[in-house]
Structure 1
Amino acid sequence: MKHLHLLLLLILAGVDSTTFAHHSDAGYDRERLVAFEGVVTRYVYRNPHIMIYVETEDGTLGQVEWEIETGSVPIMSRSGWESSMISPGDVVTIRAHPERSGRNRAILNTLETGDGRLWSQIEGDLEATAIADSLEGVWKGLSHTNVRRQFSEAHLTPAALVAREEYNDFTDDPNLLCIPHPTPFTIGSVNYLSGIEIHESHAVLRNEFLDVNRMVYMDGRDHPEDGQRTVQGHSIGWWEGETLVVDTQLFDEFNSGNGIGIPSGYSKHVVERYSLSDDGTRVIVDILLEDPEFLVEPFSGRLEMLYTPHLELHNYNCIPEVVEN
């Protein structure tokens, strides 16, 4: 077997890198690229992410096994991947960004199979191809309006700054336990599809990532006094003209309730306003987030989602044990 292990450890300069939006992404060194040829020992095609285990030869250590992380099943299936794409014993060439800790673990850039085909995660903004006449349907977030990027400019309290500094992506991430982040951080995901269902007495807001399924009560009720607090909170909604207003309170304390590593408290309050764009190709969501324990001032943002009726929402069916290797 051609021995490439670590001979192509590069400082990236102008090398294209597939963008993976993933819970533990910060633990990988995007400035380095490891490339090697090896033999597949295991191919785990399930959520929270597809894993490829590859054995290769190290000049000093002999045979070593690398854990290669890819995207989740919904993302990779839309990129052409299948459960039968590779099998144990297949020879593949890996290009990946290694973990900062030094372990033999990396996040995939590209995989080349024995037939010469190159595989990667294919994601990005799509072109508008359909027009919606209501908020209902399947929607895909547009990258230039990503709420996480906007929230990076929010002014944090000292308590939030300390918590973020102490946060460890590999031990503290709730996604490792298949617990999704609360609103507004799953709205308009660029990599995962969102779904909106409107009923007479309620609405359902879905996102593929970790099977987020939010019930919005629209029967005139208020938030319950001393109601049960949950990670996703309690949501009520109403119409203001053609705009759907969603008010969410009763959040539980959560270590990443205001973004990765930034906690949220009992005073967190989110208002989302959903409206259809004039041309019907997008949903526009205006967001107001208050949480005085961790935010110096309220955060406001706007995101957009493209109407994608030709795409199908996948069930995530997260299995915590996959992440606990």
Structure 2
Amino acid sequence: MRRPLYCLAIILLAAVDTSAHHSRAYFYDSSRVIEAEGVITRTLWRNPHTRFWMRDDDGAEWALESTPPATLIRHGLGPEALAEGTRVRVAGPAARFEANAMEVHNVLLPDGRELLIQTVARPRWMQDTPILQPSEFAEADIAAAEASADGLFRVWSRQYGQSFSLVPDGEFPLTQAAEAGREAYDPIADNPIPGCTAKGMPMIMSNPLPFEFVDAGNEIYLRIEEYDLVRIIHMDPDVAVASPSILGHSVGRWEDDDLVVTTTQINFMHYGSAIPLSADVHILERFALSDDERRLDYTLTVTDPETFIEPLTARRHWVWMPGETVKAWSCLETP
């Protein structure tokens, strides 16, 4: 069964992440929600963010930003809803540094449908707006996923409504030097992932999109939808150490049914956008499969004496949604 493309409203469960492509709190003022109405003149339906432009009735041009298409599509919303020539009313936090710009939370279409396209959005014009659940998968896709699943070797997804940030168990145990670096961080000049620049380890493990474990014998491939990345986990402990890279050199082992991975040789010097890491960072990951094989718990331990006064531990989890796949990222810099 497939769910219809549209319903009266769509609430997208895209949690806020401090390591996003740019700091939403820095660029948009959540305390100042504004509205505008006009005709869409252009849409850029590409990751990392959906962007569209609108001309209002006074002839002013508006620059509007929203949730990534990868998330919109999974909730049943296609580019047709924001097609060029469509008249819309939009509302959302105003841009701090640019006139006629906002992060769109609500879209009112000509036929009266209201789209809620951020997790914090609430009905603004249609108070009885129902919530559309994530799209369902075709029966054949579900059957194929169930037949091919083998332990943790399957596609894993963020549970809807779950934050995807790697939140530490307590406060960040920063050294004085790291704290000074965080305070001096400039979200524009120092952003490590502008546009289509890929995240590295460990930041990539806080992304909101699906990934897949693939068994390749002496190696395990971790195929990540965001940025079309592939992490290689070597299961031979004597494999030659790779040169530094954004994903580092990963060596795995089994502890009962848990996959434990050690990663070094990372030259992506960021835990989150404002928290630096050194070239000596050491990462330990544990992927623990639930008894019913429908949930994968993740524990991350980061050791870096230049950044943390003690090892930092963070946790999250993913769930198995039979029928979900890892899709092409198709990122495009905004021209």
**Partner residue, 1:248:** 263
SS of the residue 1:160 aligns to: helix
Task: Check if 1:233 corresponds to 2:231.
Answer: no
1:186 deviates by: 2.7
Could you give the per-residue CA deviations for residues 250-276 of structure 1, whole angstroms, max 9, x where no partner exists?
A: 01152xx11122111111111111121
Task: Tell me if structure 2 keeps the 8 A contact 1:45–1:51.
Answer: yes
Partner of 2:21: 23
Identity in percent: 27
Alignment of 1:1-325 (within 5 A): 21=16, 22-24=20-22, 25-26=24-25, 27-57=27-57, 62-121=58-117, 133-142=150-159, 146-150=164-168, 153-187=171-205, 189=207, 191-222=208-239, 224=241, 227-252=242-267, 254=269, 257-319=270-332, 321-322=333-334
Equivalent-residue separation in structure 1 for 2:174 and 2:225 (angstroms): 29
| Partners of 1:151 and 1:90 in 2: CA distance | 46
- Amino acid in structure 1 at the alignment position of 2:49: H
| Aligned residue type for 1:33 | V
Conservation of the 8 A alpha-carbon contact between 1:290 and 1:298: yes
SS at match of 1:176: coil
Are the structure 2 counterparts of residues 258 and 152 from structure 1 closer, same or farther at C-alpha, using a change threshold of 3 Å? farther
CA contact (8 A) 1:253 1:263 kept: no
Aligned residues: 297
Distance of 1:185 and 1:301 partners within structure 2: 12
Conserved? CA contact 1:145–1:304, under 8 Å:
no
TM superposition shift of 1:194: 2.1
Normalising by the residue count of structure 2, what TM-score does the alignment of the two structures yield?
0.79
CA distance in structure 1 between the aligned counterparts of 2:94 and 2:285, rounded to whole angstroms: 38
Aligned-partner Cα distance in 1 for 2:87–2:315: 46
Alpha carbons 2:152, 2:293 under 8 Å: kept: no
For residues 115 and 20 of structure 1, do their structure 2 counterparts lie closer, same or farther at Cα, with a shift above 3 Å needed? Answer: farther
Contact 1:285 1:303 in 2 (8 A): yes
Given that 2:105 and 2:118 are in contact with CA atoms closer than 8 Å, whether structure 1 keeps it comes out as: no
8 A contact 2:168–2:312 mirrored in 1: no
Given that 1:139 and 1:309 are in contact with CA atoms closer than 8 Å, whether structure 2 keeps it comes out as no
**Within 1, Cα distance between the matches of 2:213 and 2:119?**
22
Partner deviation per Cα, 1:194-229 (whole Å, 9 max, x = no partner): 2211221111113222223211111333452xx421
SS in 1 for 2:60: strand
1-structure distance, mates of 2:199, 2:291? 31
- Root-mean-square deviation over aligned CA pairs: 2.8
Contact (CA 8 Å) 1:29, 1:97: kept in 2 or not? yes
Alignment CA distance shift 1:248-1:30 (3 Å): same
Q: Distance in 2 between matches of 1:290 and 1:248?
A: 11
Matched residue SS, 2:325:
coil
The letter for the 1-side match of 2:90 is I
1:180 CA drift (Å): 2.9
Q: Give the 3-state SS of the residue equivalent to 1:258 in structure 2.
A: strand
Distance 1:20 1:96 in 2: 16
Listed as ranges, the gaps of 5+ residues in structure 2 are 1-10, 121-132, 135-141
> TM-score w.r.t. structure 1 length?
0.81
Residues of 1 paired with 2:39 and 2:119: CA distance? Answer: 27
